[in-house]
């Protein structure tokens, strides 16, 4: 579990990740639950995939789709890609990570990186960034929210949208699969129990999110339903939520 506290105007807000309790004790005006085991105050469903890192690596990889296994083997044996990471205590490439993601997000029409959230996660030592480098820049980067038990994919970015030639695009695709596999190995070796793939949309009417879902499912994992909830704990907090402040 991770607890991040902040102030917004006159409100005290506590944001809690992976809460498993049946009741909530907090002195904050508003509590925001992210991926809570239980629903509070008519929380919104959040559907994700969990890879059980308590299994041996062979059992985990047995759930990978055939093409995923092939792409990872090729990336490992022929592309000579190297897994690297920075954690919250180091983050030597912090600015470069942010710039890389923001350019990727802009190319896809997504919101820029939530720098305030990233800053709070770093302060709590709850952020790990994994990456694969190319000749001139990163090929792929993954941001994870971590609490020592669960590593949850927050952001994933690649050069893909800005590369014209197919050979490099294919290399980036292999690099992304390679990095997911190496993430699994890294977190497993460091005592984590769960690798959370960061949510699936389950919206067949949206081709892009369906493709992302399919990609994530190619690594196996168990479908999990959790809840994102907003709870007013004080009169002030309840009024603010009612007014959507």
The domain locations on the chain are 2-46+227-243, 47-224
CA pair distance 115, 94, nearest whole angstrom: 11
Instruction: Look up the CATH number of domain 47-224.
Output: 3.40.630.30
Tens digit of each residue's pLDDT, the chain (245 residues): 999 999 998 999 999 999 999 999 999 999 999 999 999 999 999 999 999 999 999 999 999 999 999 999 999 999 989 999 998 776 777 888 899 999 999 988 889 999 999 999 999 999 999 999 887 789 999 999 999 999 999 999 997 666 778 888 899 999 999 999 999 999 999 999 999 999 999 998 899 999 999 999 999 999 999 999 999 999 999 999 987 75
The pLDDT value given to residue 161: 62
Neighbours of 220 (CB within 10 A): 20
Angle of the 66-77 helix axis to the 166-189 helix axis, nearest 10: 90
Cα–Cα distance list, 33 to 68, 78, 114, 240 (Å) = 33, 44, 17, 16
Q: How does pLDDT run across 3-45, given as a tens digit for each residue?
A: 999 999 899 999 999 999 999 999 999 999 999 999 999 999 9
Sign of CA dihedral 34, 38, 41, 43: positive
Question: What three-state secondary structure class fits 59?
Answer: helix
- In the block, tokens 């991770």 appear at 2
pTM over 0.85? The answer is yes
CA pair distance 169, 66, nearest whole angstrom: 20
17 Cβ contact list (under 8 Å, min separation 6)? 1, 2, 3, 4, 34, 35, 145, 147, 152
The pLDDT value given to residue 159: 78
The pLDDT value given to residue 149: 98
Q: Name the E strands within 147-221.
A: 150-158, 194-196
């Amino acid at each position: 579990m991770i607890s991040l506290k902040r102030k917004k105007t006159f409100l005290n807000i506590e944001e809690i990740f992976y809460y498993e309790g049946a009741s909530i004790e907090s002195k904050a005006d508003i509590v925001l639950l992210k991926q809570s085991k239980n629903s509070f105050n008519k929380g919104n469903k959040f559907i994700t995939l969990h890879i059980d890192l308590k299994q041996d690596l062979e059992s985990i990889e047995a759930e990978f789709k055939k093409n995923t296994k092939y792409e990872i083997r090729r990336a490992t044996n022929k592309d000579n890609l190297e897994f690297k990471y920075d954690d919250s205590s180091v983050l030597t490439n912090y600015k470069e990570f942010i710039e890389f993601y923001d350019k990727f997000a802009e190319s896809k029409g997504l919101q820029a990186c939530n720098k305030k959230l990233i800053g709070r996660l770093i302060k709590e030592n709850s952020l790990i960034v994994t990456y694969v480098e190319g000749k001139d820049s990163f090929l792929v980067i993954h941001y994870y929210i971590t609490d020592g038990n669960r590593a949850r994919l927050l952001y994933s970015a690649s050069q893909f949208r800005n590369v014209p030639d197919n050979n490099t695009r294919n290399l980036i695709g292999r690099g992304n699969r390679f990095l997911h596999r190496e993430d699994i190995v890294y977190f497993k070796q460091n005592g984590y129990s769960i690798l959370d793939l960061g949510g699936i949309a389950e919206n067949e009417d949206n081709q892009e999110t369906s493709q992302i879902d399919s990609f994530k499912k190619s690594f196996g994992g168990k479908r999990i339903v959790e809840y994102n909830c907003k709870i007013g704990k004080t009169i002030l907090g309840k009024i603010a939520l009612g007014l959507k402040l």
